[in-house]
């Protein structure tokens, strides 16, 4: 015996319609349609699963979609987060670290992070990559530390 359940909701300017249809072979088909008032379809999909897995899959979908929505709607505090580092940025970072205006490493890292619109973690990680000791403002990495940390520039590798 086939049975179908429908539900609709409007969120913002989008009308969502979800229908769940069960078949005689103990499977369920979920159909989702999202459309604007103009009729333009902006969301649509179909999912087939065993009926007994419906509640579990529903909870799983709710968790995944909720997490994705939170990540998507939370603006980054750092405008340059996930942007590639350029040679010019590396040069600026290295120069600022080797001629510090501040001797306290965490304060200088925060200051550079603010200026470069990146996270303090990104700055600290990049310092090692450009041959600077992230624990001591004004100091380059030793040759051994540079190799271990994968530094790609600095006097320890013949570049300045």
Tens digit of pLDDT for each residue in 20-73?
A: 999 878 889 999 999 999 999 999 999 988 888 888 888 888 888 888 777 666
More confident residue, 112 or 3: 112
Q: What are phi and psi of 149, to 5 degrees?
A: -95, 0
Query: What whole-number distance in Å separates Cα of residue 2 and Cα of residue 23?
Result: 5
More confident residue, 125 or 53: 125
Query: What whole-number distance in Å separates Cα of residue 33 and Cα of residue 45?
Result: 7
Judge if pTM exceeds 0.95. Answer: no
Query: What whole-number distance in Å separates Cα of residue 64 and Cα of residue 58?
Result: 10
pLDDT for 153 equals: 47
Contact 107, 114 (CB under 8 A): no
Span between the terminal Cα atoms of the chain, in Å: 76
More confident residue, 69 or 125: 125
Nearest to 35 by CA among 68, 61, 8: 8
pLDDT for 57 equals: 86
Fold assignment, 3-73: N-terminal domain of TfIIb (2.20.25)
């Amino acid at each position: 015996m086939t049975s179908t359940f429908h539900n609709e909701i409007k969120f913002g300017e989008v009308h969502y319609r979800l229908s769940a249809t069960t078949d005689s072979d103990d499977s369920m088909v979920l159909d989702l349609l999202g459309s604007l008032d103009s009729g333009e379809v902006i969301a649509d999909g179909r999912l087939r699963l065993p009926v007994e897995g419906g509640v579990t899959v529903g909870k799983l979908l709710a968790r995944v979609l909720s997490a994705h929505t939170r990540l998507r709607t939370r603006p980054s505090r750092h405008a340059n987060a996930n942007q590639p580092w350029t040679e010019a940025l590396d040069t600026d970072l290295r120069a600022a670290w080797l001629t510090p205006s501040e001797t306290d490493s965490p304060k200088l890292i925060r200051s550079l992070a603010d200026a470069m619109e990146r996270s303090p973690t990104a700055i600290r990680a990049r310092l090692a990559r450009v041959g600077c000791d992230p624990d001591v403002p004004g100091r380059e990495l030793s040759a051994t530390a540079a190799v271990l940390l994968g530094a790609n520039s600095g006097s320890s590798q013949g570049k300045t």
